[in-house]
Structure 1
């Protein structure tokens, strides 16, 4: 005799889950970025600097020389992992957000580039050394959906609307 199917442990987002997801995104200064390697289709993960634009969308300044930038230009589908373990306890009990997104590059000659640059350099002053190099570009990550692990027995599925500020 087979046992009854287990209920899905992933819950729909509630107000607390949405707030935690936005907090994790808003506080992140870096993240793991997962892309598909052009040519092979194999997964590739890199660490990138992260911030948010004025609308609360995740944003990064990336080099065109990096594999992850070439991958995003070839296929904008990606995933960001934000949330770091605290100083104590099991790392798997700390909240983290896997954000499925589509990357969109901001044109360097566009009207918003100067504003993004100024805001980025305020938060990341060491980026002044490379921000104006010709291969660097801002990329904005538009959420598609997300998986939030808020700690033990606190898994949530979020939509793009759940992540909107």
Structure 2
């Protein structure tokens, strides 16, 4: 019986870790907690979010903001992301707090992934006081409702990218191709697999574990059946998903 319970606990934790990863990928915003450099008190603020290919949170903030001044003095921070929405009892909803050290991230992939998700930020992204940051994840605390609470290691929260360099390098081309030539497939993914509404869904990111879709203020995460590490593998999985989606949806 003890062995059964341990197996069940491992399965539960794996499922909740996957939910935490999906929650981060889907989120447009989060609560950033920094350490107030003047008095040492916690300071919480609202920021817009995206993720890097591994799933680590990335954000665009101004040097004029208090949280930025705090991070310059002390990079330790945490970000709370929740999926409670309009639940009457939000404590029944899922949420995850990710902790680590924030650092500036000037590479083009971070900029592209963030602006793909937050097009409105293109207006001010190049202002001299703004910069992109990434949270170097050191751990996470996931709550899926009462009694479903787990601490997660970085290896459980982030997607390993070793061996997936070809996919990461090809990401801009894959996204452009899907958005320009296969908008119908993106709509199929969203409606068949993620209860999304019909409409012009856009792909904003792809990684070994899945892809991210956005329509207006809605975001969806589409999980792959198997990890992909190359453009060829990504194409095969995207074609398979489209075929599966057509089977699931009622014939028009």
Tell me the TM-score normalised to structure 2 length: 0.57
Tell me the secondary structure at the aligned position of residue 55 of structure 1.
coil
1:67 aligns with 66
* Alpha-carbon separation, structure 2, partners of 1:25 and 1:148: 11
Q: Which has the higher contact order (CA 8 A, sep 6+)?
A: 1
Taking the aligned partners of 1:81 and 1:23, their CA distance within structure 2 comes to 14
> How many residue pairs were aligned?
150
Gaps of 5+ in 1: 1-10
1:130 maps to 2:120: no
Q: CA deviation at 1:55?
A: 2.5
Greater displacement, 119-128 / 135-144: 119-128
After superposition, the CA RMSD in angstroms is 1.6
Greater helix proportion: 2
Does the alignment pair 1:146 with 2:111? no
Runs of 4+ in 1 over 4 A off after TM superposition: none
Query: How far apart, in 2, do the equivalents of 1:51 and 1:36 lie?
Result: 22
Give, in whole Å, the separation in 2 of the partners of 1:69 and 1:75. Answer: 10
Q: What residue number does 1:96 align with?
A: 95
Task: List runs of 5+ in structure 2 lacking aligned partners.
Answer: 1-8, 160-252
Higher strand share: 1
Counterpart CA distance in 1 for 2:99 and 2:126 is 29
Measure how far apart 1:122 and its partner are: 1.8
For the Cα contact (< 8 Å) 2:31–2:44, is it kept in 1? yes
Larger radius of gyration: 2
